[in-house]
Chain A
Amino acid sequence: MCSALRWLKWAAALLTCAAAQAGAAPASPPLEVVVKAAYLAKFAPFVVWPQGVFASPNAPLVLCVQGDDPFDGMLDRLTEGQSVGAHPVIVRRLPKLDPDSGCQIAYLAGSPAQSPAAALKAVEGQPVLTVTDAEEAGGKGIVNLVLVGGRVRFVIDVEKAGQSQLGISSKLLALAVGVKR
């Protein structure tokens, strides 16, 4: 056997492997995204909504993803069977956000139809915990996810939360890398 060919085969195999890995990347999202999804699912217990937000004691708590959902169904899996108090958590995807969307938490991913900034504007003053991603351009929500030292953290805007009549648990504030008052 020709050794040169053997080397080629090796190289080809390696390349194939690398290609396969590169191709698999979109199928399983990066760790950062997974963490963000997990965070989104975990904010709810630390937030208090004003009275009247829920139609009934066991009305669902709606977690909306505005725009292009980057989580690829992860949120549904993470929130499956989860409830906050007596409210089961459900996930809803919306291209556009408006005051009547019925969301309690809204992740503003943005889309051509509505930028995160526009979405923010749309629910300004509404009792909606807006979560934005600092990676995305546009305005900042009540919770703004940031990357610090390669780790996902968040900044909380207490002033905005107050304007939206939302109570944020001090425990959550304690965990935030920054609190805007």
Chain B
Amino acid sequence: MSGPRDPARRRIAVLWIGALVLVLASVGLAIREEALHRAVIVQQAVAQTDVLAGSVGAALSFNDADAMRQYLGALTRNPQVAAAAIYGADGRQLAVLARPGAAAPAMLDTAETQRVAGRVIVARPVTQQGQALGWVYIETTPEGRSAFIARHTGLVILTLLALLLLSFVTGSAARLTVANARLSEEIEARAAAEEALRQSQKLEALGQLTGGIAHDFNNLLQAIHGAFELILGKAGEEKTVRRWARNGLEAADRGASLTRQLLAFSRQQKLEMKPLVVAETIQRMRDMLTRTLGPRIELMLDLDAERIPVVSDVTQLEVAVMNLAVNARDAMPEGGRLTIRTRKINLAGDAVMADGPYLQLQVIDTGEGMPPHVARRAFDPFFTTKAVGKGTGLGLAQVYGVARQAGGDARIASSPNGGTTVTLLLHEASGLEAANEDATPARALTAGARARVLLVDDDEAVRRVVRGGLELRGFKVIDADSGEVALAKAAERPEIAVIDYAMPGMDGAQTAEQLRQLMPQLPIILASGHPDTASIERALGGQAIVLRKPFDIGELSETMSRMLATGT
């Protein structure tokens, strides 16, 4: 609230300039009026003298003192005349009239008009038909101070009034400026407070999230840890080992799913948007859903048979449906029914969505429902009604994200004890052929590959596991714990390289680049936990395949086999 840019201050400045102009104008006016007044006084004196000169001729000529005194006497009625006199042609004073304090000169022989000490002195010759008869003289009384003040009081009062008014206006403008400044400060303070509140809310949400995720991961780690412990303990019993290995694998899969969910929420993961048929995806999920819901909840699938394609990421859609199923399960602790319904609808006149064909995916439960204020915030990230550690508040937010990414919307309808219906509107991908493939391809061992693999990873545990997996599938593994070592081992002529992206020293991209210089035809797979796989692919100029961590060995070996087969 400072500087010349401030309009209020500028207004005040303008007002003060106005006041200055007003005062100057008043002074100017007064000076002008004073000059006019003086000119009028002079004119009056001159006129009076001329009248006297014009009328006194005969009396002067005939030296009639009485007549001359009469003429002068007439002037005494004019209070402005202080002294008047008549002189002969020789300049001698013939008649004089003088008020106290004024005197006419004894001799006069020049015509003049002058101002001396506030008095106007006028002397005029008296002539008659060209004959100079004598002179007349008039001296005015100087104006008193009171008369002067009286003459200018009006203007002074007007000016003072105007200034008073102006100062009042200026004062109120100044007060307004101050009030404005205070208001701005308060607004800023409020904004800061709101920002701080938001920040604290964010931190609280982060706390909740961290708590929830840590809890989930702990459980998963517990499961994995337990599985390995048991495997270690019963290493000889193949059946038991297999069972616990499966359990551990399952837990790891759930962890991967959780991270995917987080990344999908943060929208940094590369989504694989492809046309797909929702009904088929859900059909495939039936077993998983049944397992998730447990024995107390009946699952009903009411799916359309029209094979309507929508564009979405299969995994994300699956996660969304799973999230909804988990929420429904939690809402029905006493059991109930979960209905998943897909329908083709034609939307028209919707407040939010454009008109057109949509696939409507509804997940309907018969649970406890939620009050409107909860329903309203249900899609907000980190909003959860579950206890700390029980939920991340990301589930429905992820559902909403999936719907938006598919050019649609997610809506929730719920009432306490009236169940909850979550509706996803997914834009129909018209003209696209849904390429719904089996989402769980056989991850069979690719036997007989026998290829030499250069495995580069700074993490020894990862390296050991991957090496084990690959060797199990028949690959010959040359391992290196850094990019430098990998370059040195290039002499062993690997046929394919699997490189971890994030390594100290030379990172995966640099290693890949230098390996390519040595062996231009070498197929390279970069493994990265970084969510932005697209930018890594861009950095490598599309010459490498980026595999997202965590991957399973089956997926890796499959990719490798494919690359070796195609020669890229």
Residues on A facing B (Cβ under 8 Å): 39, 42, 44-46, 82-86, 169, 171-172, 174-175
A174 contacts across to B, CB distance below 8 A = 55, 58-59, 67
Please name all residues of chain A whose beta carbon is closer than 8 Å to the beta carbon of B55 when the two chains form the complex.
171, 174
**B64 contacts A46, CB within 8 Å?**
no
Q: Mark B386-397, 1 if CB is under 8 A from A, else 0.
A: 000000000000
Known A-B contacts A82-B131, A85-B129; A45 and B67 likewise in contact (beta carbons under 8 Å):
no
Interface residues of B in 45-93 (CB under 8 A from A): 55, 57-59, 61-62, 64, 67
B-chain residues with CB within 8 Å of residue A42 when the two chains form the complex? 61-62
- A45 touching B64 in the complex, CB below 8 Å, given contacts A169-B58, A172-B58: no
In the bound complex, do residue B58 and residue A85 qualify as a contact, i.e. CB atoms below 8 Å apart? no
Determine the distance from Cα of A112 to Cα of B59 in the docked complex, in whole angstroms.
Answer: 36
The one of B61, B67, B130 that contacts A83, using a Cβ cutoff of 8 Å: B130
Given contacts A174-B67, A175-B67, contact A39 B131 (CB under 8 A): no
CA distance A82 to B127 in the complex (A): 13
A82 vs B59: C-alpha distance in the bound complex, in angstroms? Answer: 19
List, sorted by A's number, 21 A–B pairs whose CB atoms are closer than 8 Å. Answer: A42-B61, A42-B62, A45-B129, A45-B131, A46-B57, A46-B128, A83-B130, A84-B131, A85-B129, A85-B130, A169-B57, A169-B58, A169-B128, A171-B57, A171-B59, A174-B55, A174-B58, A175-B58, A175-B59, A175-B62, A175-B64
Chain A residues closer than 8 Å to B130, beta-carbon distance: 45, 83-86
B357 CB to closest chain A CB, in angstroms?
120
3 shortest A-B CB distances, which residue pairs?
Answer: A45-B128, A171-B58, A45-B129
* Set of chain A residues within 8 Å of B62, measured between Cβ atoms: 39, 42, 175
Write the nearest CB–CB distance from A36 to chain B, whole angstroms.
11
Q: What is the minimal beta-carbon distance from A176 to any residue of chain B, in angstroms?
A: 9
Query: How far is B56's CA from A174's CA once the two chains are assembled, in angstroms?
Result: 10
Closest chain-B Cβ to A83's Cβ sits at a distance in Å of 7
Chain B interface (Cβ within 8 Å of chain A)? Answer: 55, 57-59, 61-62, 64, 67, 128-131, 133
Q: Give the docked Cα–Cα distance between A172 and B67 (Å).
A: 11
**Could you tell me the distance between the alpha carbons of A58 and B61 in the complex, rounded to whole angstroms?**
23
Give the complex CA separation of A84 and B131 in angstroms.
Answer: 6
A39 vs chain B, min Cβ distance (A): 6
Contacts of A175 on B, CB cut-off 8 Å? Answer: 58-59, 62, 64, 67
Q: How far is the CB of B90 from chain A (nearest CB, A)?
A: 14
Q: Determine the distance from Cα of A87 to Cα of B208 in the docked complex, in whole angstroms.
A: 131
Closest-CB distance, B71 to chain A (whole angstroms): 9
> Chain B residues near A84 (CB, 8 Å)?
129-131
Given the complex, which residues of B lie within 8 Å of A45, measured CB to CB?
A: 57, 61, 128-131, 133
Query: Closest CB of chain B to A150's CB: distance in Å?
Result: 13
CB distance from B60 to the nearest CB of A (A): 9
A175-B133 Cα distance, complex, nearest whole Å: 15
How far does the alpha carbon of A42 sit from the alpha carbon of B59 in the complex, in Å? 11
| Shortest Cβ distance from residue A123 to the other chain B in the assembled complex, whole angstroms | 22
Contacts of A83 in B (CB 8 A): 130-131
Write the chain B residue with the least CB distance to A61. B129
Measured CA separation A46–B59 after assembly (Å): 11
| Closest residue of A by beta carbon distance from B127 | A45
Specify which chain A residues have a CB less than 8 angstroms from the CB of B67 in the assembled complex.
Answer: 174-175
Instruction: Give A154 Cβ to nearest chain B Cβ, in Å.
Output: 9
User: Could you tell me the distance between the alpha carbons of A82 and B132 in the complex, rounded to whole angstroms?
Assistant: 10
Most B-side CB within 10 Å, residue of A39, A42, A83, A84 = A42
Task: Please indicate which of the listed interface residues B55, B67, B130, B131 has the most CB atoms of chain A within 10 Å of its own CB.
Answer: B131
Q: Which residue of B lies closest to A47 (CB)?
A: B129
Smallest Cβ distance from B540 to chain A, in angstroms? 127
Chain B residue numbers with a CB within 8 Å of A169 are 57-58, 128
CA distance A85 to B129 in the complex (A): 5
Of the listed residues B55, B58, B130, the one surrounded by the most CB atoms of chain A closer than 10 A to its CB is B58
Task: Please name the residue on chain A nearest to B56 by beta carbon.
Answer: A171
Q: Report the minimal beta-carbon distance from B213 to chain A, rounded to whole angstroms.
A: 127
The complex places the Cα of A26 from the Cα of B425 at a distance, in Å, of 153
List of A residues within 8 angstroms of B129 by Cβ: 44-45, 84-85
Most A C-beta atoms less than 10 A away, residue of B55, B61, B133: B61
Distance, CA A45 to CA B132, complexed state (A): 10
Smallest Cβ distance from A62 to chain B, in angstroms? 16
Which residues of A are found within 8 Å of B64, using beta-carbon distances?
A: 175
Q: What distance in Å separates the Cβ of B188 from its nearest Cβ neighbour in chain A?
A: 92
CB distance from A58 to the nearest CB of B (A): 12
